[in-house]
Amino acid sequence: MPKELSGDMNGQGLRVAVVVARFNELVTRPLLDGAVGTLSRYGVSDNDISIVWVPGAFELPVAAKNLADTGRYDSIICLGAVIRGETGHYDMVAGHAARGIGQVGVDTGVPTIFGVLTTENMEQALNRAGGKSGNLGSNAAAAAIETARLVQAINTG
Ligand code: INI
Percentage of the residues of the chain whose pLDDT score is greater than 70: 99
Global confidence as pTM: 0.97
Candidate list 89, 92, 99, 134, residue with the active-site label: 89
Query: What pLDDT score does 115 carry?
Result: 98
Query: What pLDDT score does 86 carry?
Result: 63
Query: What pLDDT score does 90 carry?
Result: 87
Establish whether 96 is a catalytic residue. Answer: no
Label residues 98-126 b or e (16+ Cβ within 10 Å = b): bebbeebbeebebbbbbbbbbbeeeebbb
Query: 131: left (phi > 0), else alpha (psi -120 to 50), else beta?
Result: beta
Asked, for residue 9, whether it belongs to a domain, the answer is no
Give the count of domains, the chain. Answer: 1
Q: What is the CATH number of the domain that holds 46?
A: 3.40.50.960
Ligand 1 mutation target, pool 22, 59, 93, 124, most atoms within 8 A of CB: 93
79-130 residue pLDDT tens = 999 999 766 788 899 999 999 999 999 999 999 999 999 999 999 999 999 9
